[in-house]
Chains A and B, each alone.
Chain A
């Protein structure tokens, strides 16, 4: 009866539950990812002697660690129990590991800023390096967090999701540098921004390709598709503006806004596509059926 091709279901109801996170979470993913990459670019700018650019990155990271916790707390069912996140350290829970990464990163950024205010320059710079160590983990752990679920398009993409999040983080941080640093000091930021803006849709495309026709569908249709297309268009517009009009400070700022927005839309696309893939049981059942057939065949 060919029922392997047409997956059966219980009145079309989902097998797995879609995630229940509010839009605070994709915003957090973008802000945390941007802050993490900004800490790395801060140290790079410092090494190049571009201190005004480094300061922009440092303020970006600081803004991130100030905004991120309230977003996370607002999403909790029981916000007053947010400190329970630090009740244990659980290597099997990417959210537990991530909470500790965010805590360490936030501590380093805050301490570095405090040292800067007190005029302890060497301490401040040392703590910037410490923040830069925790930055990349902060940017990519959220990809592991999503991948370690039964949500079909997230788990199947565990190799590729970190690339997408890293590209978005690099692009977002660089966009802040290009936007707020003096033009003559932002050459590195502009270059990283263009690179990230090209890598973001490319990474997303590679991820969809490797997900295969069925599981790539949630990135083509519905809200997931709309957000993904918005992200792609904004990223490419940002890259094009940056390459073609990069000599003009005003055009660069427009490009930076496009690239930053592309990263936000990409995070919303991933969350929306995940929800869609959980809501339709075919995305859960069909790959599992194929897996079983491959094992027994």
Chain B
């Protein structure tokens, strides 16, 4: 076995026992990078001095292990572009809180990963530096926007990685690449130094080989930050401590399977089976009916979420991307790609007083409908501990699938968008594997606000009980 294939947990263990060395790990990591990065286009920049840095981190909890970071996290010493030519060559003078905390705990940022430009997309095809290919099958897309981070993990070009999610951008690429992706509750992980997209939605989080690895990373990146007023002061748990608690007596609701677009898909079938597995593990499992209107005991479907998301996110994008003037750093605004131009201009429109429905501003209207989704999840979490659904309606789509469809991302993310708007947490774990294409489906396990421990416990139990994780040999 090559050492780049180690999980984070195992690598820490073997380094502790001195059975392996950092030199050996980095040698294998750089070997696979030199073989595959040109083809898969995972990293936009690589730190060639990472091994030297790693060696000074040996005594810290993350042991100097190489972690891939999405290119929208500001890092001192490596360029940060958010995959846009506007920021080509930009060297940040300060560090994001997430990468600062990783570094303080012995993580080494080995490189910055490709993404949809400005995180606008669900394919990594809209990157100004070309698409990333899915390491499981390079004819297919890795998903996005954190496609490079998911691909870095799936191809063992890093031991673990960091992504960010606004609506689906951690969980959907994790699902398509057959890895684990955790979207924390909004405010659990600091956004300071993350290139802002939808400020009321953005949630940084880990993309890893296993559920336990996600728990380890979350331990180090979560928590209050004086530089981000939207972070929560709630104490950070040790998410690895009770990981093996299981799902006994938990109430789990299965969502969206009766929706016409989901019904009869392989994803629905896989999630049904997942429900059965949780039942066998001692949980009480129910099917929750979908509804297009807010109704007690039913889950509100994505149709309105897509509209709300489009308005809120485009609005926030237009405001956040106003700062790129090419004066203090970066290139001027003619360097924005098609998708960014599209979103900025639509955002300016949806925030303007031309965008009205009768007398009400469209943005205000959207925030009311967003409230319905919050109420819906509050109602459901008063009865259920966890909600599960497919992460994506499909397997990874072929390269080229996104071109010409301005709503591609939203339709891809339909199953995660309601939960993103509500700000609750969720984790995607592999729940099916297709031998013919070597592609995976993901199970989305959602929990109430700040219930990261519970979703990790359920995801861990599922991983233990099944055979879909390619790093865990049984």
Question: Are chains A and B native binding partners rather than an unrelated pairing?
Answer: no
Q: Which residues of B contact A (CB under 8 A)?
A: none
Q: Which residues of A contact B (CB under 8 A)?
A: none
